[in-house]
Amino acid sequence: MQDKKICFLIDDDEDDQEIFSLALDTLDIDVTCITANDGIEALNRLNIDTDFTPDFIFLDLNMVRMNGRECLAEIKKLSRLKKVPVIIYSTSSEQKDITETRMLGADDYIIKPPSISLLVKRLEQVLSRDS
């Protein structure tokens, strides 16, 4: 039997966190969502709790204390997370943002969809890729 997957969502919008969790709950994949409210909180958790290694990291770009690009650069410095896919999860559909985050090491880019059903489909694609 396969272990439960852990998704680490870094997003400062509580509504987006809730929508993301609801979408994950509808998937036919055994997955837990752990959240951080910003990049600083996320990096503190990742740096202090060295036993915490999520299977996927979903990262918002537009956060107040530390933006997603800065957080992504710091995550990529942590050698134990080298194989953990980092997926940008943002409202921005700007090609510049997609290109820049790919160059910084993001594995994928999800534009926050207008409905939970579309998010579910997109998450299924991302999460089943590495099953």
Torsion sign over Cα 60, 9, 131, 29: negative
- Three-class DSSP category at 6: strand
> For the domain 5-126, what is the CATH superfamily, name and number?
Response regulator (3.40.50.2300)
pLDDT digits (tens, 9 = 90+) for 84-128: 999 999 999 999 999 999 999 999 999 999 899 999 999 999 988
pLDDT band per the 50, 70, 90 thresholds, residue 12: very high
Supply the DSSP string of 62-87, one letter for each residue.
--SSS-HHHHHHHHTT-GGGTTS-EE
The model's pTM is 0.93
Domain residue ranges of the chain, discontinuous segments joined by +:
5-126
Residue 11 predicted with pLDDT over 80: yes
- Please write the tens of the pLDDT for every residue from 13-43: 999 999 999 999 998 888 999 999 999 999 9
pLDDT at 1: 38
pLDDT score recorded for residue 131: 45
User: What's the longest Cα–Cα distance across the chain?
Assistant: 41
Amino acid at 1: M
* Separation CA 5–CA 131 (nearest Å): 9
Query: Is residue 130 pLDDT above 80, yes or no?
Result: no
Residue 67 dihedral angles phi and psi, to the nearest 5°: -75, 170
Q: Which two tokens stand for residue 107?
A: 């594995």
Q: What is the pLDDT of residue 120?
A: 94
